[in-house]
Amino acid sequence: MRDRFFILFEARSGSSHLVSLLNSSPNVICYSEIFAGQSLDVSDQLLHALEAEAPLHNLNPWVLDDYGSVDPEKEAMCVGFKAKPYDLPSSRTLDKLE
């Protein structure tokens, strides 16, 4: 089982740079904004994929960052993503993330 994390951020806070730095480690995969503009169904599928340690880019191609730093094939010990607080689909999402 991989360790999991998430980064809550506001716009223009340096989160994209942080994602790139995290992805430069061979032991970390950090996806971009996985919940941005997603329906509850897709959000549930994304959470299930995180639990199952399945690739997220098949469900939402936007999870790959603009800088190409995410390698979804990498065997990482730690996986996470970033999200704006208002993009989280519901309070139950936070419950599942806990």
Determine the Cα–Cα distance for residues 65 and 90; give it in Å rounded to an integer: 23
Q: What length is written for the chain?
A: 98
Q: At residue 12, does pLDDT exceed 70?
A: yes
For residue range 50-65, list pLDDT tens digits in order. 888 888 878 887 777 6
Angle at 31 between CA 20 and CA 6, to 5 degrees: 100
Using CA atoms, how far residue 5 sits from 48, 54, 77, in Å, is 15, 15, 11
pLDDT of the residue at 75:
84
Determine the Cα–Cα distance for residues 38 and 32; give it in Å rounded to an integer: 13
